[in-house]
Amino acid sequence: MMNLLAAQTMIPNDFELAIPGNIGFFKVLLVVSFILHIFFVNLTVAGSVLAVFNEWRGWIKNNPRWDRLAEKLAVQVSIHKSLAVVLGVAPLLIISVIYTRFYYPSTILIGKAWLMLIAIIIVAFLMLYVYKFTWERWQNKKGLHLFFGLGGALLLLYVPLVFLTSVASMLQPELWKEGLSIFTAFFHYPTIWERYLHFLFATMAIMGIYLIVLGNRQKRENPEDGELFVSFGKNVALLFTFLQLAAGPILLFSLKGDVMQLFLGGSALQTGLLVVGIILALLLIFSLYQYKRSDSRIWLRSALVLIVLVVSTMGWLRHEVRDSYLAPYENQAVHDEQVTEQALEK
Amino acid sequence: MQFPIIEFPWLGSGTVIAIIAVTHVLVNHAVAIGGSLLMVGLEYRGWKMNRPDLDQVARKMSKWILIITTTVGALTGVGIWFSTMVIQPNAIGSLLRVFFWAWFTEWIVFVAEVILILTYFFTWDKWTGKKKLRHIRTGMALSFASWLTMTIITAVLAAQLTPGQWIETRSFWDAVANPTWLPSLFFRTFVAIALAVAVFSPFIRWFVKNEETRATILSDFGKWMMVSIPFMLAFGMWYVSNLPEKALELIVWASGLQGKEMVFRLLHFFAILIMFFLGFRLITNPKRVSLVLSAFVAFLSIGLIGEFEMIRETIRKPYVIYDYMYVNGIRVDEVEKFNKEGFLPNSKWMAVDEVNEDNVVEAGREIFKGQCLACHTVDGWRSKRALGERIEGMTAEGLDNYIKNLHTARYFMPPFAGTDEERRALALYLEKAVNSPEQLDGMAGESK
């Protein structure tokens, strides 16, 4: 209760103008558009990381197949990154309009790092364009070429941390603090690194499955390349989906106690979602494993359906985490005026 | 003030937003809208006249348009959101409540735009021969989609300056169909074409080696330019005639040529004349048009569009949404309340809740942050907005009197909103900050 009261002096009053629509509908739209956005973010981040990795591997092992895979990925990244950015606009609009009182302050508090993202992403994208368009020309300057790819990939790996800071800190107004540098903020607000780990593994897992699809198509042009891409994709997908079995619980246990309880039996909806998510993830691992062993299409198809289901469930779950955190403050909102008045009197 | 405040002591808040916004407008108008039109125009001509050389240039252009719009263009577009939400949360937050569905629609068009440019770029080799027309149509759709995004965003920008009926009705459609929406939309449309010609001509002149190819392209560009300028002027005049009276009076001042109205007029007259001259040269003598002239016009028109955006922003002062909200985020209808109850007690995130004997200067500083920082710095780069230079030597008393009449003395400033004590605290702080800043060292919140 103390926390709530303290936070009330920092949570802004809402605007006088009404939210132009039904909140429930906005929330559905938020979850759906966010899933679309994050899907392409995943392909962009993991795509650039794996492009660099494979180019490097091809270079030192002197195997042009890996280089060809890397080039494919670099071209894909140039497409996915544009979709990732543009699809991010809708969730940004919606979260701004329905969670104004939480999202704006939390973002303003890291405002300078937030603004720097613009420059950072522009530089990252330009570097990745150089990377893509100089593939042939710089065949003999692999070091320089890799530098651009790696630079772009590393910058892209930094970006989610800032976004995570604003969406994690919006949930705990009682921790809001002015004047933190972004690197201090990464450690000041809870759950950021746990979320980041969970995101990174998801990114790689999704990319692994994407690679399988890419490799299967590649088989038509160059069967041996295709085969190699597929088997690499299988390993990546399986490994990182499996690692999520650790990253998921780590994140769950980093949540604030009473919120965590909701997911551990405290509330039917939240717990149910989590259970469904875990079951789907296990089924996904099973399908991937079967596909790796048997190479049979049916298991691939089942993995594809399951990954969509898992990502959707997790996307929704993530939203429930947010609303569970914010519920006490939202309920308090009606008392806002009174609290302000009390503050005035004292 | 309800939100935390970020300070940019040297740049100033307004400048941060302006850098991002002007870059975006430039890329969006010159490259995405105008540039894509020139590009498909060229592709179409190449197809009709069976001139593969023109097709090749269009293809080259598409690569650069893709690179620029998906990096600097897209990110500064998102950047306008990013910067306004952390610097002017009240304004952008309120606009979002009004225009949410317009922006949401715009988002759908954005997605279409990205898909179209990717399709266009990656199908140069695939859609040839019989399928060429499909490629050209994709390019046209791209051009149209770019224009459509401008249609929507212009409604918001125009409404900030001329909200029209919305002030009373609070109706979405009144906000969209505001008095300067259409004039500014058409004005910008032709600005975009002229700007694209100006910006792309030097590159064509420089990089296209074949003289025949260059001549055809440049004379086409010249025609686009000659047609656009008169329309641009006509719609510009329509736009200006719909501006609020007070805003109109501020135009010359906003350009920095206060009191030199004749100079202002002459400069702009000559600027347009030179653009016209370039168009004329491009048509009549495309092979020999001077690189210096085309480069000069490129910079000139970039300067003009930048100036236009700055003037548009400046003449809206003191409002961020005309007659509704001031630049510092205070609503017009809140002023009276703050005068009575105080600004500090009605704010969050301020280091102090009220003025008392021990905290006068600190309170003054918080009030400065809340009400003045949106336009001023203490000692930033823009000397006209750095209060240090403006008020050096003034006493707290003199300042207090000045602040009392802020809005009446200078229309472009909002009225001070707060109690008499708060005003005195602000004056005291300003006097100290300007005349003896060393005394402020170590004060809470000073050295961040």
Q: Which residues of A touch B76 (CB under 8 A)?
A: 118, 122
Where is pLDDT greater, at B75 or B440? B75
Task: Assign B93 a pLDDT band (cuts: 50, 70, 90).
Answer: very high
- pLDDT tens figures, A232-242: 999 999 999 99
> Are the beta carbons of B327 and B317 closer than 8 angstroms?
yes
Give the mean model confidence (pLDDT) for residues B243-265: 91
Q: Is the pLDDT of residue A95 over 60?
A: yes
User: What tens digit of pLDDT does each residue of A153-188 get?
Assistant: 999 999 999 999 999 999 999 999 998 999 999 999
Q: What is the pLDDT of residues A30-39, one digit of tens each?
A: 999 999 999 9
Q: Given a cut of 60, is residue A105 above it in pLDDT?
A: yes
**Does the bond joining B183 to the residue before it have cis omega, within 30 degrees of 0?**
no
Please name every residue paired with B325 in a beta bridge, in sequence order, or none if there are none: B321, B331
Q: Is there a single domain that holds both residue A198 and residue A243? A: yes
Confidence (pLDDT) at B225: 95
The amino acid that residue B381 corresponds to is: W
ipTM of the assembly? Answer: 0.92
Structural domains counted in chain A: 2
> Which A residues in the span 190-249 are in contact with B, Cβ-Cβ below 8 Å?
none
Q: Do B380 and B10 meet the contact criterion of CB atoms below 8 Å apart?
A: yes
Query: Among residues 12-41 of chain A, which lie with CB inside 8 Å of chain B?
Result: 12-13, 15-21
Q: Are B134 and B140 in contact (CB under 8 A)?
A: no
Structure tokens at B310: 């700055």
Find the closest chain B residue to A99 by CA distance: B93
Neighbours of A301 (CB within 10 A): 12
Residue with tokens 């005003």: B423
Does A201 share its domain with A279?
Answer: yes
Are the C-beta atoms of residues A113 and A188 closer than 8 Å to each other? Answer: no
Q: In this complex, is the C-beta atom of A102 within 8 Å of any C-beta atom belonging to chain B?
A: no
DSSP state of A177: -
**Pick from A45, A72, A57, A321: nearest CA to A206:** A45
- CA–CA separation, A165 and A188 (whole Å): 9
Q: How confident is the model at residue B391 (pLDDT cuts 50, 70, 90)?
A: confident
Q: pLDDT band for position B443 (50/70/90)?
A: low
Outline where B242-286 has alpha helix (H). Answer: 245-254, 261-284
Flag whether pLDDT at A3 surpasses 80. no
Q: What CA–CA distance (Å, rounded) separates B29 from B36? A: 10
pLDDT band at B91 (very low <50, low <70, confident <90, very high): very high
Query: Does residue A15 fall inside a structural domain?
Result: no
Angle at A144 between CA A142 and CA A148, to 5 degrees: 110
CATH code, A220: 1.20.120
One domain, residues A176 and A36: yes
Which tokens belong to A320?
């429930």
Residue of A nearest to B447 (CA): A179
Is A197 found in the same domain as A161? Answer: no
Chain A CB contacts of B349 under 8 Å are: 10, 105, 178
- What confidence category does residue B433 fall into, taking pLDDT thresholds of 50, 70 and 90? confident
Domain holding A305, by residue range, is 191-330
**What pLDDT, on a 0 to 100 scale, did the predictor assign at position A343?**
52
- 10 Å CB burial of residue B297 (0-12, 13-18, 19+) is buried
Claim to verify: residue A202 and residue A325 sit in the same structural domain: yes
Residue A217 included in any domain: yes
Nearest CB among A11, A104, A179 relative to B93 is that of A104
- Chain segment A301-323, per-residue pLDDT in tens: 999 999 999 999 999 999 999 99
Q: Is residue A262 part of a domain?
A: yes
pLDDT > 60? residue A346: no
Q: Please compute the mean of the pLDDT values over residues B389-406 and round it to a whole number.
A: 88
Residue type at A263 in one-letter notation:
F
User: Does residue A4 fall inside a structural domain?
Assistant: no
pLDDT of A2 strictly over 70:
no
CA angle A318, A171, A11 (to 5 degrees): 145
Same domain membership, residue A288 and residue A232:
yes
A173 and A66 housed in the same domain? yes
- Strand residue runs (E) in B154-296: none
* Interval A121-136 mean pLDDT: 96
Average pLDDT over residues A94-104: 96
Rg of chain A, C-alpha, whole Å: 22
Q: Name the strand (E) or helix (H) holding B325.
A: strand B325-326
Instruction: Tell me, yes or no, whether A195 and A159 share the same domain.
Output: no
Classified as helix, coil or strand, B320 is strand
In this structure, chain B runs to a length of 448
| Strands B319-321, B325-326: pairing kind | antiparallel
pLDDT in tens, A257-293: 999 999 999 999 999 999 999 999 999 999 999 999 9
Residues A177 and A128 in one domain: yes
Residue at A61 is within a domain:
yes
Taking an 8 Å cut-off on Cβ atoms, the answer to whether B86 and A11 are in contact is no
Domain boundary among A135, A160, A181: A181
The pLDDT of residue B118 is above 90 = yes
A282 and A148 fall within a common domain: no
